[in-house]
Structure 1
Amino acid sequence: MKLMKGNLMLGVLLSTVFGALLMLLLAWTAPAHLRPLSPRIFSKKFEWQVQTPHPLDLKYPQSYPFLINHPDKCESPGDAPFLLMLVMTQPQDTGIRQAIRQTWGNETLVPGVVIRRLFVLGLPQPLFAQELRALLEEEDREHGDLLQVGFLDTYHNLTLKILTGLEWMAQYCPTAHYVLKVDNDVFLNPSFLVHQVLWPNGPRQLDFITGYIYRDARPERRPGHKWYMPPELYSQNEYPDYCAGPGYVMSGSLALRILTIAQRFKAIYVEDVFVGLCLKQLGVKPTPAPPNTFLMLRRKYNHCAFHRLVLVHHFQPQELLQIWPDFLTSNGACPSV
């Protein structure tokens, strides 16, 4: 067991280093005068342009093709999926995805509840597209859980990731009771999420979305900041209430309504804020989660404390692999709350 865990952690480390080297090589080898091209990758029928009129301007709605797809992922002889996990990831994150499969992304982790998992990713930078294509195809043949969409995989395209993930849900998994959007740098407790937040034996919650709720947040107006929002893209001085991007869960019915309303007004690149704008258009407010269960700041692992949490942000795959065997042991000795 120790040898298997060591090998898996080594794989995660090598994958992380490989991804970092890819990004560095891109920065070193691309001449300053080089214009982004529109190469054909994965599909002869699809082309994309890296540049847009404004660097933070999104092209949506637009028909982005599913280049790696599993249309039968939600088909089963039994019940419709109770929870569809849409995990945001980058093409080079092979080791991170494997760590998630071995820990909180295990579809069989919650007995008696049907969970389906998809890793949503875009296209790599053109320089390494062919090399990563072969690796992704091999990974998907083994696990069958990649959803690759035809736009460049960048931080500013996170809104496109969640919207195209919802497009996939609408087309291939419309009966899912709940949809979880989650980043790949978190600790997640699916059992607590299912039994203490979503309640599989209770009535279906319709206009429902929850997570860590930001209220009265203001746009960042400093150019160069990670979340800079230029006034020409969003002119108001305050954002509506929204659930923080590292992880939020919504009812399947609300996910379909968000997807519909998202195509009727201008998309912005700050993904969680944009979902909040969609909620405002729909007249829906986020539902508070049980207090202190979605943590946006890192917390040191504690067995009993983590069994009473849904999510903790800023968790790396190596840490997940280290704590998971202990987390799976019984929490019967933990004090009740």
Structure 2
Amino acid sequence: MTARDFTLTGIWLAVTYAVDWSQKLRKGPNIYVCKAGNVTHELIVAVEGVYTIKRMSKKKRKKILLQVFFVLTIFLFYQLIMQIDRKIDKHRQDVKEEEIWKFSRHEPNGTLVFDAAERPKFCNGCFKFGYRMLKEEPATCQNQENIHLVFLISTTPLSLKKRMIIRDTWASYSKKNTANIRYAFLLGDIAEEGIQEMINTEDKFYRDILQGDFPENYYTLTVKTLMGYHWAAKHCPNNTFIIKTDDDVFINIPAVLDMIKKHENVLQSSIGGFCKKDIEPVRDIKSKYYVSHVEYPRKRFPGYCSGTGYVTSINVVKQVIEVSRNIPFFHLEDVYIAFCLDHLNFTLQNIEGFNTVYDEDEHADLCELKSNSVLVVHNFKKRPSFIKEIWNKHCDI
């Protein structure tokens, strides 16, 4: 039970005591009845306890009054917390734009790198990637001549269940990172020592986590992806293809390998996935994808490929790394990568099969999700274990 659940329980009990006590005193003990299974019995006992309080001993009455006082105190405390939460939410909205802007204008060590009223389209060395690798697994790309495809999987510290599901399902094609398919999970720095210790233990066992010394949060996803790109460029062979994806995604590995064979030439100068061109930024401050006019003053993005999954060659990865130092930071990772491609005069390739969204009503037959026309299936955040159900489904395909 969370702190908020506990507090809500206290509110419910306080209301129950107040309402039922008044009902009992006015109408008698046999009038008020609440039918709710076991809860009914508990409520009636509680109400009877209040109703007969005058016939109890002084010690007993004091105990019950203290209990009621405690419940009401929790209620008032909850009201205070809710007020604080509302103030914090408002404060976050007020400072969100400012904080992202500060991050975008500074090097990792905090040095101001450009001075402008709004984010420029191009700069001269304003975004130098100076983050250290806290966890680096060079062995993931050993036996380089056999490696064909590497997955960079964006994850969060507490998403152990999601990582375990991926390891047990589609990432098992890697044979624990010894086959021609490899994978690595991407993480930022974690302030909580206890959680970091859990990550350390997990990595000692699986050896599949890459971690950088940048803050772990939604607004550093661009840095997280660039960390993965830097690592791949350093450790993986020149004929490798790279797919960046998320930890709530099912990957149809056989179909992906077939897709790469068909697109391997065009991917030498492009990124492929579910790609849109000429898109308007989201200007709604309440949206997760909100972009202010300061962060991006132009009316439309040149385009981008959805961050749930996009593929490219190691050749493009290396050139993105090279040009990124001159492309000012932008907090939407998939859009930022597209900015780099736009400056390189590379293209976005919309590839069928990258935009399959799981819907229980539409996909009653799980074998549809394992067909050769489906590459990436996402939207598993509510029930990530469904990835395992797709994986375990036997299909004659």
Other-structure match for 1:64: 131
List alignment gaps of at least 5 residues for structure 1: 1-16, 22-27, 35-50, 333-337
What is the CA–CA distance in structure 1 between the aligned matches of 2:262 and 2:147, rounded to whole Å? 11
Offset at residue 136 of structure 1 (A): 1.0
Other-structure match for 1:280: 342
1:299 to 359, 371, 377: 359
Q: 1:211 to 1:233 in 2, by over 3 A?
A: same
What is the CA–CA distance in structure 2 between the aligned matches of 1:229 and 1:251, rounded to whole Å? 29
> What SS class does the counterpart of residue 199 from structure 1 fall into?
helix
Q: Percent identity?
A: 25
Q: Provide the aligned length of Structure 1 versus Structure 2.
A: 280
Q: Is the 8 A contact 2:154 2:247 kept in 1?
A: yes
Matched, 1:73 2:126: no
Offset at residue 203 of structure 1 (A): 5.7
Query: Max radius of gyration: which structure?
Result: 2
Other-structure match for 2:230: 167
Other-structure match for 2:167: 101
Other-structure match for 2:301: 239
List alignment gaps of at least 5 residues for structure 2: 6-80, 89-95, 108-126
What is the CA–CA distance in structure 2 between the aligned matches of 1:241 and 1:201, rounded to whole Å? 20
Q: 1:87 to 1:148 in 2, by over 3 A?
A: same
2:247 to 184, 187, 202: 184
What is the CA–CA distance in structure 1 between the aligned matches of 2:262 and 2:280, rounded to whole Å? 36
Offset at residue 113 of structure 1 (A): 6.3
> What SS class does the counterpart of residue 85 from structure 1 fall into?
strand
Q: Is the 8 A contact 2:281 2:291 kept in 1?
A: yes
Q: CA RMSD in A?
A: 3.0
Q: Is the 8 A contact 2:272 2:305 kept in 1?
A: yes
| Superposed counterparts of 1:12-91, under 5 Å | 54-56=99-101, 57-58=103-104, 59=107, 60-76=127-143, 79-91=145-157
Offset at residue 80 of structure 1 (A): 4.5
What TM-score do you get using the length of structure 2 for normalisation?
Answer: 0.64
Q: Is the 8 A contact 1:100 1:317 kept in 2?
A: no
Q: Which amino acid aligns with 1:331?
A: D
Q: 1:208 to 1:331 in 2, by over 3 A?
A: farther
What is the CA–CA distance in structure 2 between the aligned matches of 1:269 and 1:99, rounded to whole Å? 28
Q: Is the 8 A contact 1:80 1:176 kept in 2?
A: no
Offset at residue 227 of structure 1 (A): 1.1
Higher relative contact order (CA 8 A, sep 6+): 1
Q: Is the 8 A contact 1:82 1:200 kept in 2?
A: no
Q: Is the 8 A contact 1:219 1:229 kept in 2?
A: yes
What is the CA–CA distance in structure 2 between the aligned matches of 1:282 and 1:271, rounded to whole Å? 17
Q: 1:200 to 1:146 in 2, by over 3 A?
A: farther
Which deviates more, 210-219 or 294-303? Answer: 294-303
Q: Is the 8 A contact 2:356 2:374 kept in 1?
A: no
Q: Is the 8 A contact 1:80 1:175 kept in 2?
A: no
Q: 1:237 to 1:144 in 2, by over 3 A?
A: same
Q: Is the 8 A contact 2:271 2:310 kept in 1?
A: yes
Q: Is the 8 A contact 1:74 1:80 kept in 2?
A: no
Matched, 1:214 2:279: no
What is the CA–CA distance in structure 1 between the aligned matches of 2:214 and 2:97, rounded to whole Å? 12
Matched, 1:310 2:375: yes
What is the CA–CA distance in structure 2 between the aligned matches of 1:149 and 1:202, rounded to whole Å? 30
Q: Is the 8 A contact 1:185 1:313 kept in 2?
A: yes
What is the CA–CA distance in structure 2 between the aligned matches of 1:88 and 1:131, rounded to whole Å? 21
Q: Which amino acid aligns with 1:236?
A: R
